[in-house]
Structure 1
């Protein structure tokens, strides 16, 4: 007797975005019968964002697939540590940090065009220059949509790029990685390094840093692939 329970999917946005940035992916997951929750992180500090995401994960009724885009990858890497609820991690052009490793430490070894387009405000929150946003962040998104993204960008505190965590969830949880080959924010070779280090099941596509906006079907397919592995495991146990 089969008693399959689909996992809940928790989506975690990156810097310069909020939970609504998953708007093209969410309907595809809902149509496939998944319970989906998009986290709204404050982007004030990595520990704060990890704590917010942990609360959302712990509120889910059963097994969870945690998905992180960009900086959201660093968040799920910390938020899923030690939580048996999380059965799979999915990184969408995401930061899969190792223990005691920061984003600035990694990007320093492989600078990207995005870095030169970022400017802080008086309080130390970082913005992407609106004139450069389309080119460095979302060049395969329509100019109109990229303009809206630039205008509504949610700034990130500069400290979020300097902070690290003691443990990385991918060391014990199966991981998937969607590598964006035309990314101008996180260099593709750096994404490949992180994916290989994790032993992640990796899919590469020709996309900018925001494939979840420009190619939502591809992103949804990878999330569903990861989620399907959880269903299979759950069914076998039962």
Structure 2
């Protein structure tokens, strides 16, 4: 005798099946960098969600390295199971500084991301190799009530500096919606980096004008990364212009042992 499920029972079964599928894969935590925001991960997140990965796109406060790392720490502690931790640009510094104790972080992915060593500051690491033109595109700092100074990229310079391989109209929206970073965050020394104890993967663009490709290659080699991929023709926002390549790397990181 055949048994037939009611509509509600079938829906429950499908939800349970879907939850089990998601639970079998690591959660991907995406940390954006300066002059960006969580929506910058839209293309990558859509691909990963389609492939069954749970996603958390953190709203990085951009208030200071320790402050931001502590914030992400709290997010990580509330996620059960294995985690692939991903950082773009300054967000790479943040994922380098988090305390992974009592979390499920299993691997790291640096997307045009900074990976400072203990004691290094973002400001000095960014000058290690020639080629960055970021400084000349910044608007005058905006004084905040807490005494810190917020930095923005001038909107008229945003497209060519930050996202040259993104359609101009889309880059214009990104420039208008950019999140500022406290200038003081670039001067905080990093702590013992996570990349010394966890497997790492690096992906970056050959036309990155914020952080020179030579710097990315240096950081990947220093971290003994499992892979370092340079995307030809890509700007600093490789996750927006080449989401499939970035998502594929994250999925490879999810297979780390």
Q: Secondary structure at the match of 1:76?
A: helix
2:188 paired residue among 152, 163, 167: 163
CA distance in 2, matches of 1:47, 1:120: 24
Shift in Å, 1:20: 1.5
Unaligned runs of 5+ in 1: 234-238
The match for 2:28 is 9
1:173 paired residue among 171, 195, 198: 198
Aligned residues of 1:77 and 1:168 also touching (Cα < 8 A): yes
CA distance in 2, matches of 1:179, 1:79: 22
**How large is the RMSD of aligned CA atoms in angstroms?**
1.5
The match for 2:89 is 70
CA distance in 2, matches of 1:122, 1:20: 24
User: How does 1:132-143 map onto structure 2 within 5 Å?
Assistant: 132-143=157-168
CA distance in 2, matches of 1:102, 1:38: 25
Shift in Å, 1:83: 4.8
CA distance in 2, matches of 1:128, 1:144: 16
Counting matched residue pairs gives 228
> TM-score normalised to the size of structure 2?
0.85
CA distance in 2, matches of 1:82, 1:162: 25
Shift in Å, 1:174: 0.3
Q: Does 1:120 align with 2:120?
A: no
Q: Does 1:223 align with 2:250?
A: yes
> Do the aligned partners of residues 116 and 83 (structure 1) sit closer, same or farther apart at CA in structure 2, a change above 3 Å counting?
farther
Q: Does 1:149 align with 2:167?
A: no
> TM-score normalised to the size of structure 1?
0.92
Larger-Rg structure = 2
Aligned residues of 1:80 and 1:86 also touching (Cα < 8 A): no
The match for 1:236 is none
Q: Which moved more, 1:117-126 or 1:128-137?
A: 117-126
User: How does 1:1-238 map onto structure 2 within 5 Å?
Assistant: 5-83=24-102, 85-111=104-130, 112-123=132-143, 124-200=149-225, 201-206=227-232, 207-229=234-256, 233=257
Aligned residues of 1:88 and 1:175 also touching (Cα < 8 A): yes
Shift in Å, 1:118: 1.2
Q: Secondary structure at the match of 1:136?
A: helix
Query: Once superposed, which parts of structure 1, at least 4 consecutive aligned residues long, lie more than 4 Å away?
Result: none
Q: Deviations over 1:164-210 (max 9, x none)?
A: 22210000000000021110100000111101100111111121000
Q: Which has the higher contact order (CA 8 A, sep 6+)?
A: 1
